[in-house]
Structure 1
């Protein structure tokens, strides 16, 4: 791990505990060659393996190559896919990343806009049960694609929590007189989505003095 992946000895020691089941370097070597072929730098490979050692256990032919092929089908360049690997790490090994990106790309207007600000928190969320219902509800609240895209890239993102919780936050914001679709509405939602109702009230009162 130190010589082939560029890890520091402490990182290599930590990573090796998750790779102890490997009996041959064949699969890790294939993954490293695949990453090099995508254009990841040695530093990016080291960071990826330190963060997600089990990436070296992924099947190139069964998982990584098909995902890359589908992403190319979404008109992502190989250099952009390399950046995506660095950004998402573990999430890149999940085939759901393709459907997640396919859904959120229109919100950002282009793959470059998306990659510039993307975090992987929402890509880990269930697209059909969580993200899509949340986006649909927020569109009903008057938020446009630009505002929703700004919520998409937060960590944690309000789009990654249950729709019921989003509705509770919106109801509290409504009760405090913040107009839906207003600039303050998105800021309020961003600020209170992960708070209790009591803290929501205090936070929105503070936002009122800031934005109104």
Structure 2
């Protein structure tokens, strides 16, 4: 379906006035001037028909209704909006879904159902979005119903499908669409260009698929911005075509410069050098995505309670990513009880203890001590058992 491109009416009037002036026709010039002023007044004034409809049907505020109606000053009735609402209800949209859809993309109320809306809806239904799921998706992204099907939606979806590997039932594709509808509104050429650039950096196959699923906006930003993000990752010690580059790129793209700076300042406040900070990030790129509170608790425990040296954290930064509440502290409590009762022949490495699976830890440090198993289990799962009792 080809989109018709209309020239702004104000520009057309300007050109006509210019032509009238050139032809020395004062009468026509004055008539056009009056028409231009009248058009300007109409387009900047709320349309009472639409204002009342929006307020009564959706409960919109006067301000929001006025703002929306200004864009549709030419509407003479609510016949089309009412037909659109019935169409959405028949699809299974809830009233909340419809209300949000109109607020996000009010132009759908004035779109042709058969030519514009229905083909897009059928397209998304074929991808696996139906009923309530479709309503939830459209309510947050209703503008997609006005995007060209042939020029953008179809080619972009085809590109995304080709990039996502082993995507059974379009599960990953739908996750991408929910996270970033931008991928459907941008030029497909930009999508292809960014994919080609990422592949030139060694991010291919499952890694490319993973990045698209987790951070789809990277695929539709300006390529100059994408290249800058990759350059920053390289400056921090990640080489092009390294298997870790994709994780660094993901982390850097998730955080603002100010957030990155604060994270490094936090590590430096505990005595880590700039180079040590970069080394920790290089070993565990996801480290900087952890909250400041989590990092503070981790360093407080490992450096003050466990008396670990900085070098250990530099070489094993993954331990700072572990859950303090569910893994680190409970296992520490169990070992303290075992040590106090002299039940261990030799003290195990706490780092190795943290690397054990839950089942392995239970077998090695709780189940084998039958007489003390209950006390040890309470120390290990106490907070969980308490939540169950409540």
Equivalent residue runs for 1:58-207 within 5 Å: 58-72=111-125, 74-79=126-131, 80-94=133-147, 95=149, 96-105=152-161, 107=164, 109=167, 110-116=169-175, 117-127=178-188, 129-140=189-200, 141-142=202-203, 143-152=207-216, 157-179=217-239, 180-183=241-244, 185-188=246-249, 191=252
CA contact (8 A) 1:6 1:42 kept: no
TM-score, normalization: structure 2? 0.45
1:20 aligned partner: 73
Could you report, residue by residue, the CA deviation over 1:180-201 in whole angstroms, capped at 9, with x for unpaired residues? 45345333355259989xx99x
Radius of gyration: which is bigger?
2
Question: How many residue pairs end up in the alignment?
Answer: 203
Larger relative contact order (CA 8 Å, sep ≥ 6): 1
Note the residue ranges of structure 2 that are not aligned, 5 or more in a row: 1-53, 265-273, 284-390
Distance in 1 separating the partners of 2:242 and 2:136: 33
Distance in 2 separating the partners of 1:37 and 1:187: 46
**CA apart distance, 1:27:** 1.3
TM-score, normalization: structure 1? 0.76
Distance in 2 separating the partners of 1:4 and 1:195: 41
CA RMSD, 1 decimal: 3.3
Distance in 2 separating the partners of 1:111 and 1:183: 27
Q: 1:159 to 1:85 in 2, by over 3 A?
A: same
Distance in 2 separating the partners of 1:125 and 1:42: 30
